[in-house]
Structure 1
Amino acid sequence: MLEACQLCYAFPPQPPLFEDVSLRIEAGEWVGLSGNSGAGKSTLGRLLAGYDEPTAGRIRIEGERFSTKGLRPVQWLPQSPELAVNPRWQVVRVLNEAWEPPEALRRAFGIKSQWLNRPVRTLSGGELQRICVLRALAPGVRYLIADEISTMLDPITQLALWQALKAEAEKRKLGVLVISHDAALLKRLCQRRYHLENARLHAAEHHQLP
């Protein structure tokens, strides 16, 4: 279980971006997170992945603090994938930085073999997002923080990406936090939802769509 207990994040003298935030994500569970722009959703995602430190509170996996050295067991996938890669690298180097995904899995994510030797900067945002999602599925990863990862994609590519990610996450029992403004998407994908508003996290009423 990935668990956050009584997190606070603030830059005094500004009021806290959020405080007393607690949530949990079980292995194999999909949890949704919504909130208005500026509410702190991405910041919370970065905290859960160990990229930033909370002002107060703690984050644990199976009750233990996890190391942020080497491959992180919690991977944060940002909305803008170009922020997560070196634009001068070739695609194959970006993927192999974490692992060497099998060809069948590359195909499942719509990644073409001819992309592998291309520089990252020559890919579209949607193509690069698929590369970054696949890279984050390296062995040893146990939880994913998917932060608005499909907003730049057309509807057909969105569907294909989520189907591929759902299948692989279910196979490996990965816990996934889906951050999105799209309420219908969260209802369709997630077993539970939270809403971040006015510096507080609230459990949202939830019914999965058929």
Structure 2
Amino acid sequence: MLNARDLRFGFAGQPPILDDVSLSLEAGEWLGLNGDSGAGKSTLGQLLAGYLTPQAGTVTVDGAPLPRRGLRPVQWLPQSPELAVNPRWRVKRILEEAWTPPAALREAFGIEPDWMNRMPQALSGGELQRVCVLRALAPDVRYLVADEVSSMLDPLTQLDLWQGLRQIADERQIGVLVISHDAALLQRLCSHRLTLSDGQLYREPPAEQPDAQIATAPRQSPR
């Protein structure tokens, strides 16, 4: 289980963005998070993945702190994929920075063979986002924080991306925190949803069964 307990974080000279925030994400669970712009959703995602250090509180995976080195078991996927890659590396090296996905999985994510020798700026935003999602699915990854990863994509590409991610996450029982302003998307994907407002997390009423066009929801452990 990914556990965040009593997190507090603020930037220098500013009031805390997050104050005493706690959440848990179980293996195989899809949890939604929404909130206004500037509420701290991306900050929370970076804290969960170890990109930022909380001023107070803890983040643990199965009771152990996040590792300081190597591939982290929690991966944060930002909205803008170009910020997550080295612009001087070709796609093959970008993927193999984390692992070497098999050809069948690259095909499932719509990654064409000729992309492997391209530079990231030669791909569209949607194409590069697929590369970043696949890179984040290395075998040792247990949890994903998907931070508005499909907001720049057209509806068909969104569907392809979420279907591919759902299939792999369900097979490997990867827990996914989906951050989005799109309430309809969260309702389709997630069985539980949270709202971040004024530095606090609030649980929303249980969602209906996620949309069958995306995929069948994983089994949820009692809360």
TM-score bin (small chain): over 0.9
Q: Name the counterpart of 1:161.
A: 161
SS in 2 for 1:116: helix
Whole-Å Cα distance in 1 between the matches of residues 68 and 186 of structure 2?
Answer: 28
**C-alpha contact (below 8 Å) 2:190/2:207 kept by paired residues:** no
Q: Distance in 2 between matches of 1:10 and 1:97?
A: 31
User: In the comparison of the two structures, how many residue pairs are matched?
Assistant: 210
State the TM-score, normalized to the length of structure 1: 0.98
User: Percentage identity across aligned positions?
Assistant: 62
**In the TM superposition, what whole-angstrom CA distance separates every residue of 1:111-133 from its partner, at most 9, and x where no partner exists?**
00011111111111110000000
Alignment of 1:64-143 (within 5 A): 64-143=64-143
Which letter does structure 2 place at the counterpart of 1:109? Answer: F
- Written as runs of structure 1 = structure 2, the 5 A alignment for 1:51-62 is 51-62=51-62
Distance in 2, Cα, partners of 1:68 & 1:82? 24
Q: Deviations over 1:38-67 (max 9, x none)?
A: 000000000000000011110111111120
Secondary structure of 2:16 counterpart: coil
Q: Which runs of 5+ in 1 are unaligned?
A: none
Letter in 2 for 1:107: E
CA RMSD of aligned residues (A): 0.9
CA distance in 1, matches of 2:21, 2:173: 25
CA contact (8 A) 2:109 2:164 kept: yes
Q: Which amino acid aligns with 2:66?
A: F
Q: 2-side partners of 1:64 and 1:31: how far apart?
A: 21
TM-superposed deviation, 1:11: 3.0
The offset of 1:13, in angstroms, is 3.6
C-alpha distance after superposition, 1:102-156 (max 9, x if no partner): 1111111110001111111111111000000000001100000000000111000
Aligned residue identity for 1:6 = D
Deviation of 1:12 after TM superposition, in Å, equals: 4.9
Show the counterpart of 1:7: 7
Q: Are 1:182 and 2:182 matched, yes or no?
A: yes
Q: TM-score with structure 2 length normalisation?
A: 0.92
